[in-house]
Structure 1
Amino acid sequence: MKILFINAQSFKTAFGLHDIVEKYNIEILCVNETFEKPNSPIHFKDWKVYSSPRKDKTGGGSAIFIKPTLNFVTIRKPEYELDSIEMVCIEVKDRSNKTFNIWVPYVPPEKPKLMEELCNVVKKEKLKNLILLDDLNAKSMEWNNPKENSHGKLLENCMTTSNLICTNDGQYTRRNSSSVIDIVLVSQEIYNSVSDCITLTHETVQSDHIAVYLNIQSEENVEIEEMEETWNLKKADWKKWKESTKEKFQHFIFDREEKVQDLYNRFEKEIMECMEESIPKIEKKKVLCT
């Protein structure tokens, strides 16, 4: 499940975002500060949109865009959303019937009461497989800010009581700034399923925030190991190989009337017999994706 999060500072003018979505084969796009207006809904290609525009004034807004796919189904969960902030909550069920909860809230700077409301909802619901992608304007040294603020202290406490883990890679998430405020939090039980969480500092979007890429490995694509037998060339007896091939092929007959496939089959049979005589085999692990 490939997810991209960004504070777009106006979705309509976030030029470069489309290219990143294509490049990383994004399936779920999560956005803060969409600047969506209630009477002018945002859209993205033919993707399904769940959004929460700011009602009383311009700016703000949150949205989740879902790429048309058979890999999972999604439904909105308004019972978790707060009226006091722009927030979108959805439930995602993959093909193995595993359920994830994705929340995309936005809390403006210096609004600790709103931050506390959000933390209280997280603590109350205690959802499993929760993924929070957000610009909460929360600073903490725990996710590599040089100092902390009131939002960060509230969030730290919420993470401790709710078993949430920050998966950011520690890089700054704003251009020309030492701030890490665009963060990804996941429940402890799915932490090991996070194969990538990368701040895309090398990618350019028309916003002073930097996109964060998250890849959650679903159960249907889990890597499993299987043993396979292969030739151990390091232990080959090359002297015996030379003797064996010389003996096998000194009387090998090439018949011009013979079909190419028949000739190949005869040649392969002789080569395999030579290998069996002079090269031992070893078992190695083979990684498969299911």
Structure 2
Amino acid sequence: MTLNLKILSWNARSLVKVNKDLLVQFCLENQIDIFCIQETFLKPFIKTQFHGYRVIRQDRTDRDKGGIIIGVRNHIRFNQQWVNLSQGRAKIIGCIMFIDRQKKINIFNIYNPDGSENNLRETFEQMMHSVPSRELIIAVGDFNAHSESWCTCGRSNNAGRDIEDFLMNNNDLCLLTPKDLPTHLNHNTGQYSTIDLVFSSPHIAPTTKVTSLRNTILYSDHLPVMNELNGCNNIQANNIAHKFKLKKTDWKTFLTALENVHIEEQLKDVSSSEKKIKIFQTALMDVVDKVVPKISTHKLNHKFTKWWNETCTKAKHDLKDAKSNYERFPTFHGYV
């Protein structure tokens, strides 16, 4: 099947309390498959759940603020991806999504807190080294990187030059962020810049659309960035996730069905070990699907927050109006 994958990237400037609930509400309402958040401000002692999502966290313990997180819808199969950074202040976490039994997509969330950082090239190189060749990559995050390559801001910094240098010398990753895409609002000037970036493998770049979202319930000085991957084939993510009832399985029927497959005859003329494994897996799963009963767990519906009322709805609309007015007339009164 073909799946349209939605990945949200956002510097939240805190996921403590209300902001976390608004994030979950937004993701469920807009059917976000994966969210990558920077500056969560979460600490190891803060235990929190994200309804409908399983999360990977990297909290900052040496100082306030910071922290990154990846949330993946419950029905999507994934593993955590580890990247060990030897130097620099940048933080990175990743997950591996399974497209089918052989193909994967590696998704990375990166936060670079300092634009004067000059180790971003090493960060990208170590990320690439952690991924086997031919596997797909999507990397998102807040890089605090200025460059004329993606923003007509009239300036560049070390982070921007590091990324430019890496892209010029590497053909396995390309920049997807459209030039001058507004992602960060400077409250002093009321002007937007482009420092939240998206990268991907060249194979999926033509089918990936990157946009920033202005009128949302999510508020910080960064705009959420939506990444829509269209035409991702055979990804193992369905509206219904199955669990097997092993205690109610008739194992005699299961063994009989396995014997009727005659797997030896199917493998007799196959020389490749990989093909043999694939044939065996397919035959085994066919028997499992026919014999082993399942529990169907439907895609989770959105649970509305209990405390949300008409006052909250009005405040949300007032916030959108205030943001819009400030963008047009960046005055101190509008900022307050």
TM-score, structure 1 length as denominator?
0.68
Match of 2:177 among 168, 176, 191: 168
SS at match of 1:120: helix
In structure 2, relative to structure 1, the CA distance for the partners of 1:204 and 1:139 (3 Å cut) is farther
Preserved CA contact (<8 Å) 1:139 1:148? yes
Match of 1:88 among 93, 103, 106: 93
Question: How far apart are the structure 2 equivalents of 1:157 and 1:4?
Answer: 26
Q: Percent identity?
A: 24
In structure 2, relative to structure 1, the CA distance for the partners of 1:26 and 1:173 (3 Å cut) is same
> Is there any run of 5+ residues in structure 1 with no aligned partner, and where?
222-290
Preserved CA contact (<8 Å) 2:121 2:165? no
Deviations 1:25-61 (A, max 9, x none): 1010110001110221443114111011112111111
What pairs up with 1:255-274 in 2 under 5 angstroms? none
Question: How far apart are the structure 2 equivalents of 1:138 and 1:65?
Answer: 24
In structure 2, relative to structure 1, the CA distance for the partners of 1:198 and 1:56 (3 Å cut) is same
Residue 189 of structure 1 corresponds to which residue in structure 2?
203
- Root mean square deviation of aligned Cα: 2.2
Deviations 1:138-179 (A, max 9, x none): 111211241221100101111222332222233210133331
Cα shift at 1:95: 4.4
Match of 1:148 among 136, 144, 156: 156
Number of aligned residue pairs? 217
Cα shift at 1:192: 2.1
Residue 70 of structure 2 corresponds to which residue in structure 1?
64
The answer as to 2:165 corresponding to 1:157 is yes
Preserved CA contact (<8 Å) 1:173 1:179? yes
Preserved CA contact (<8 Å) 1:91 1:102? yes
Amino acid at match of 2:168: T
Cα shift at 1:96: 6.9
What pairs up with 1:176-255 in 2 under 5 angstroms? 176-194=190-208, 196-217=209-230, 218-220=232-234
> Is there any run of 5+ residues in structure 2 with no aligned partner, and where?
236-336
Preserved CA contact (<8 Å) 2:110 2:142? yes
Preserved CA contact (<8 Å) 2:118 2:159? no
Cα shift at 1:63: 0.6
Residue 145 of structure 2 corresponds to which residue in structure 1?
138
Cα shift at 1:97: 4.7
Amino acid at match of 2:197: I
Question: How far apart are the structure 1 equivalents of 2:30 and 2:101?
Answer: 23
In structure 2, relative to structure 1, the CA distance for the partners of 1:24 and 1:161 (3 Å cut) is farther
Q: Considering only CA atoms, is the larger Rg found in Structure 1 or Structure 2? A: 1
Deviations 1:48-82 (A, max 9, x none): 1101111211111111001111xx4110122x243
In structure 2, relative to structure 1, the CA distance for the partners of 1:145 and 1:151 (3 Å cut) is farther
Residue 32 of structure 2 corresponds to which residue in structure 1?
26
In structure 2, relative to structure 1, the CA distance for the partners of 1:95 and 1:122 (3 Å cut) is closer
